[in-house]
Amino acid sequence: MSLAFEWLLAIRFLKEGRMQSWLILAGVTGGVAIIIFLTQLINQLQGTIIDRVLSSQAHIVMRPAEEVVLRLNQSETLTAALIQQRGQRLRSIDQWESFAQLARTTPGIKAVSPLATGPVFARNNLASKSVVLMGIVPEDYLKVVDMNRYLVKGRFDVSSEQTVIGTELAKDLGVGLGDRIQIVNEVGVVQNLTIVGLFDINNKDLNKRWVFTQLRLAQSLLNIPGGVSSIDLTVHDLFGAKLLAQRLSKQTGLLVESWMETNSGLLNALSNQTVTNSLIRVFVVIIVALGIASVLVVSVVQKQKEIGILRAMGATQQQVLRIFLMQGALFGSLGSLMGVSLAFGLLTLFATVYKSPDGSMMFTAQLDPNLVVMASIVAMLVGILAALLPARRAARMDPVQAIRS
């Protein structure tokens, strides 16, 4: 079936009503650009936020199950019971090597790092600060948190005599690279460590509290010889972390938490942002559809005499219907083409103008091909659907009445 007649009429009618056509085309272009620009912006910003938050923490942390008070006699009937919660002491994960091995062989897990962490004091002369000793196996830990990207000075070279601390702690203790600090545990054992690196992890509290050392030294200072207090994991699929954590918890009986639980506030904010974006998209689509429909309704009224003549000359109802549907599709497809270009322009402008406080780019001006294809298909469908009503009205027009009008 040749659609030459329909295309010819659709395009000529649009050219004839030039002002109307340009205005609605501008509307569709703006709509498509807003949808692509906003989605791309929000996706990239969300990606940046997630990256910034998660690059300094493990995606999943495995800890020993909490200690609870058990009732001695389960069958005994008690009318009232007041059970004081038990305080949680620092404990090692029982048989942690086998759990670490299980995690390593679990599909979806990218890296595994055992940690011995606990409270100690860091001292330099009279200054004394309560800190968290982070006993790590450096090559494993760097796979979970790439500390090298946060190093401000020195190198991340942790051993039984060397440490890496945060910039804030260094300031508080009045120390710098090459200086020695004392680590004092809860029973007063003192260990001297030389500072070989300073980090700034974009979190003031962590910059004040984290003191990295070798796993073995931490085990002895924290009095958990051979043990670890947690196992940190990273995963390939960030948003699959919760499910993986649940699975590992079932398999090991340990307390396993993913970033999605520990950062539930952030996750809520992100999902609220996504919902808001979806709502904006829906409203923009509705407004664009109404715009196309209203222009075509006016066009049908303006063209009724021509439609009557065409019908008198033998144009069928389907041909007339197709003329206006094609106009809707043309608005949709041309608008999406122009909208994609406009969105790219806006993204480039935004990427150039708005930068992070450190001068780095907040996001890059790149278009997700899937998003572009989806937006174009939606714009075309919306165009056709919006044209349906005016097109039906045109097709059903009585030629005699139309010619007389």
Q: List residues binding another protein (CB under 8 A).
A: 2, 4-5, 8, 12-13, 15-16, 305-306, 308-319, 398-400, 403
CB of 25 to another protein, least distance (A): 18
Closer Cβ to another protein, 205 or 398, answer by number: 398
The answer for residues whose C-beta is within 8 angstroms of residue 73's C-beta and 6 or more apart is none
Closer Cβ to another protein, 181 or 315, answer by number: 315
CB of 10 to another protein, least distance (A): 11
Report the C-alpha gap between 100 and 233 in whole angstroms.
Answer: 9
The answer for residues whose C-beta is within 8 angstroms of residue 327's C-beta and 6 or more apart is 10, 13, 14, 296, 299, 387
CB of 334 to another protein, least distance (A): 18
Report the C-alpha gap between 116 and 92 in whole angstroms.
Answer: 8
Closer Cβ to another protein, 15 or 89, answer by number: 15
CB of 8 to another protein, least distance (A): 7
Report the C-alpha gap between 42 and 23 in whole angstroms.
Answer: 28
CB of 322 to another protein, least distance (A): 12
Token duo for residue 304: 């009724």
Provide φ and ψ at 67, rounded to 5°: -80, 130
Report the C-alpha gap between 202 and 90 in whole angstroms.
Answer: 27
Closer Cβ to another protein, 160 or 319, answer by number: 319
Query: Nearest Cα to 307, choosing from 397, 405, 231?
Result: 397
Could you tell me if 135 and 219 are in contact, meaning their C-beta atoms sit under 8 angstroms apart? Answer: yes
Closer Cβ to another protein, 167 or 299, answer by number: 299
CB of 345 to another protein, least distance (A): 33
Could you tell me if 46 and 275 are in contact, meaning their C-beta atoms sit under 8 angstroms apart? Answer: no
Closer Cβ to another protein, 191 or 304, answer by number: 304
CB of 321 to another protein, least distance (A): 12
Closer Cβ to another protein, 126 or 313, answer by number: 313
CB of 299 to another protein, least distance (A): 12
Token duo for residue 293: 């429909």
Closer Cβ to another protein, 12 or 204, answer by number: 12
The answer for residues whose C-beta is within 8 angstroms of residue 297's C-beta and 6 or more apart is 389, 390, 393
Closer Cβ to another protein, 190 or 312, answer by number: 312
Closer Cβ to another protein, 2 or 85, answer by number: 2
CB of 294 to another protein, least distance (A): 21
CB of 4 to another protein, least distance (A): 7
